[in-house]
Chains A and B, each alone.
Chain A
Amino acid sequence: MRETWVVGAASNRYGKMAESGREAATRVALEAIDVSGIDPKRIGYTFVSNAFGVAERQAHLGPLINTALGIPEVPSATIESACSSSSAGLHEAFVHIAGGFLDAALVVGVEKLSHLDTLQATSYFAMGADAAFETRNGATFPGLYATLAHAHRQKYGTTSEELGAIAVKNHANAAKNPHAHFQKPISLDTYLHSPIIASPLRLYDCCPFSDGAAALVVAAKDVMRSPSAEPLVVRASARSGSVAGMQDRPDLTGLPATRTAASAAFRQAGVGPEKIDFLEVHDCFTVAEVMALEDLGFYPKGAAAAAGRNGETALDGTLPVNSSGGLKAKGHPVSATGAGQVVEIFEQFNHRAGARQVPKTEWALAHNVGATGGSCSVHIFSHR
């Protein structure tokens, strides 16, 4: 298996894009190519993610992006895995390059939903759930995670103040990230007085509907002998699935796909959680960060919420989590999110994260979930 690197990474500012998804995706792809220093002609495939492209009445985005990049002959495919779409794209790039089928690939994720109203956007997000057995029975996306939050609180006593501490931490990190959707810190008091969206989750427990685009250039080590920036060595690229509907899972306090993907990733990398210096996890809702840290093996079940409240996961804590601001505050442009997490790790590895720079960047992990855990990606990176 060939050693595989992420050699270029770029994203735009998440939030509300004036331009189309097509334009934004092409722009960040070009920036990632320039960061990497790769000759675009060496790119052998473009993996595009744009789960809700239909909202812009545009499908088959790959050839449009490649044409606008001046590489129209490069093949492309759209990779859809709900909120984990572009991390699934990264996995595809890794498998092809590590396996010797490609030398280099482009991974692009983009989403634009800001032209829809809240009701329409809520309905689009719910499309990641089971339309017949969840959405038909009144589930919204916040409602599904709220049900998990309810179960977690019931079993472990997770409090609103603990969930609020995660929101406060991630907003503080986002305020130091010029690419984040939210640029203002919030107080615990603001959190506690925000309206209930789906009990027990409040407005500030929920990620925003964000537009955004992110791109990665992935290449074999032997192709990129002298990369322009410090590359991320892909030590593990693992994907897992689980029973799609939470009604058919025995445990409602975590996501089984996270546990199986993490187990496979740590096995691939040959390290355990104690080796990881910082990580980006899928915090579409505050409770999702709690469950992720427990399911990934960083904390025992029931212990992650208190760790967050105690500051262990802050930028200056023992395990910085979501230095970017996470989905919660950096934003969640569905198909860009997974690649965007890797952009943050790339910035941290290259010491370009400014005020949110974490102190130690030898090993990092990215965790990206599709919907309520029907899909999950875990990637582990290190320096050369």
Chain B
Amino acid sequence: MSETSLPLHSIAAYRRGYEEEHRLLGFRSACGFVTATWSLACPRCGARDLTEAELASTGRLVAFSVQTVPSDEFLNDAPYAYVLVDLDGGGRVTGWIPGIGAESELSVGGRVRFSPSYKPGVQFARISDGGSTP
């Protein structure tokens, strides 16, 4: 995780980060909490002196669910996995892995890599799939 001075205090900046600049952005609080969810104060301790940070692009699966009935934005992508990922160096993010049709294809603790594409959202790939950052 490297610290930056990016203007993260807009949700659009986060989205630009992962969809256009292919970076996962977040902040670190004085209490040590790291998150990739937009906020103006730390949800744990309330501190406002947040340090903007670029988060790691690799991590481990914490929990997941294979989606067979998607929302309209993901209509053409089901089935896929909705995932929670603990990033290396701190920060837990939500994301999705395309092409997953059964729970047995993933495991808690499995290694994943941020793998952006033209599709929306924070997209991951299993590292065993050769997922790579551009």
Q: Known interface pairs A143-B82, A150-B63. Does A137 touch B95 (Cβ–Cβ under 8 Å)?
A: yes
Determine how close the nearest CB of chain A comes to the CB of B95; give it in whole angstroms. 5
| A243 and B108 alpha carbons, distance in the complex (Å) | 23
Chain A: how many interface residues by the 8 Å CB criterion?
39
Q: Known interface pairs A138-B77, A143-B82, A154-B63. Does A197 touch B69 (Cβ–Cβ under 8 Å)?
A: yes
Q: Residues of B contacting A135 with CB < 8 Å?
A: 71, 73
Main secondary structure of the interface of A (DSSP, over half): helix
| A144 and B67 alpha carbons, distance in the complex (Å) | 10
| A196 and B77 alpha carbons, distance in the complex (Å) | 16
User: Is B65 touching A150 in the complex (CB atoms < 8 A)?
Assistant: yes
Tell me which of A122, A148, A151 contacts B69 (CB under 8 A). Answer: A122
Fill in one digit per residue for A193-230: 1 if any B CB lies within 8 Å of its CB, else 0: 00111111100000000000000000000000000000
- Closest A residue, CB atoms, query B98: A138
Kindly state whether residue A361 has any CB partner on chain B within 8 Å.
no
Q: Residues of B contacting A248 with CB < 8 Å?
A: 35, 37, 43, 92
User: Is B65 touching A119 in the complex (CB atoms < 8 A)?
Assistant: no
- Closest A residue, CB atoms, query B12: A132
User: Is B122 touching A137 in the complex (CB atoms < 8 A)?
Assistant: yes
Determine how close the nearest CB of chain A comes to the CB of B77; give it in whole angstroms. 7
User: Is A133 touching B65 in the complex (CB atoms < 8 A)?
Assistant: no
Q: Residues of B contacting A154 with CB < 8 Å?
A: 63, 108
User: Is B82 touching A147 in the complex (CB atoms < 8 A)?
Assistant: yes
Kindly state whether residue B22 has any CB partner on chain A within 8 Å.
no
Tell me which of B38, B62, B75 contacts A132 (CB under 8 A). Answer: B38
Fill in one digit per residue for B43-76: 1 if any A CB lies within 8 Å of its CB, else 0: 1000000000000000000111111111111110
Kindly state whether residue B3 has any CB partner on chain A within 8 Å.
no
| A142 and B17 alpha carbons, distance in the complex (Å) | 28
Determine how close the nearest CB of chain B comes to the CB of A41; give it in whole angstroms. 46
User: Is A196 touching B68 in the complex (CB atoms < 8 A)?
Assistant: yes
| A252 and B122 alpha carbons, distance in the complex (Å) | 20
Tell me which of A137, A195, A201, A243 contacts B96 (CB under 8 A). Answer: A137
User: Is A147 touching B84 in the complex (CB atoms < 8 A)?
Assistant: yes
User: Is B72 touching A198 in the complex (CB atoms < 8 A)?
Assistant: no
Kindly state whether residue A190 has any CB partner on chain B within 8 Å.
no
Fill in one digit per residue for A235-267: 1 if any B CB lies within 8 Å of its CB, else 0: 000000001011110001000000000000000
| A282 and B72 alpha carbons, distance in the complex (Å) | 26
Kindly state whether residue A126 has any CB partner on chain B within 8 Å.
yes
User: Is B93 touching A140 in the complex (CB atoms < 8 A)?
Assistant: no
User: Is B96 touching A247 in the complex (CB atoms < 8 A)?
Assistant: no
Q: Residues of B contacting A150 with CB < 8 Å?
A: 63-65, 103
Q: CB within 8 Å of B: which of A100-157?
A: 118-120, 122-123, 126, 130, 132-140, 142-144, 146-151, 154
| A167 and B95 alpha carbons, distance in the complex (Å) | 29
User: Is A143 touching B94 in the complex (CB atoms < 8 A)?
Assistant: no
Q: Known interface pairs A139-B94, A200-B103, A247-B94. Does A132 touch B63 (Cβ–Cβ under 8 Å)?
A: no
Tell me which of B36, B37, B64, B93 contacts A147 (CB under 8 A). Answer: B64
Q: Known interface pairs A119-B72, A138-B74, A246-B84. Does A143 touch B37 (Cβ–Cβ under 8 Å)?
A: no
Determine how close the nearest CB of chain A comes to the CB of B93; give it in whole angstroms. 6
Determine how close the nearest CB of chain B comes to the CB of A205; give it in whole angstroms. 12
- Closest B residue, CB atoms, query A206: B69
User: Is A133 touching B94 in the complex (CB atoms < 8 A)?
Assistant: yes
Fill in one digit per residue for B97-134: 1 if any A CB lies within 8 Å of its CB, else 0: 00000110000100000000000111000000000000
Determine how close the nearest CB of chain A comes to the CB of B63; give it in whole angstroms. 4
| A243 and B35 alpha carbons, distance in the complex (Å) | 12
| A245 and B95 alpha carbons, distance in the complex (Å) | 13
- Closest A residue, CB atoms, query B19: A136
What are some 20 contacts across the A-B interface (CB < 8 A)?
A119-B75, A130-B37, A132-B11, A132-B38, A133-B36, A133-B94, A137-B122, A138-B67, A142-B69, A143-B65, A143-B67, A147-B64, A147-B65, A147-B82, A148-B63, A154-B63, A196-B66, A198-B65, A200-B65, A243-B43
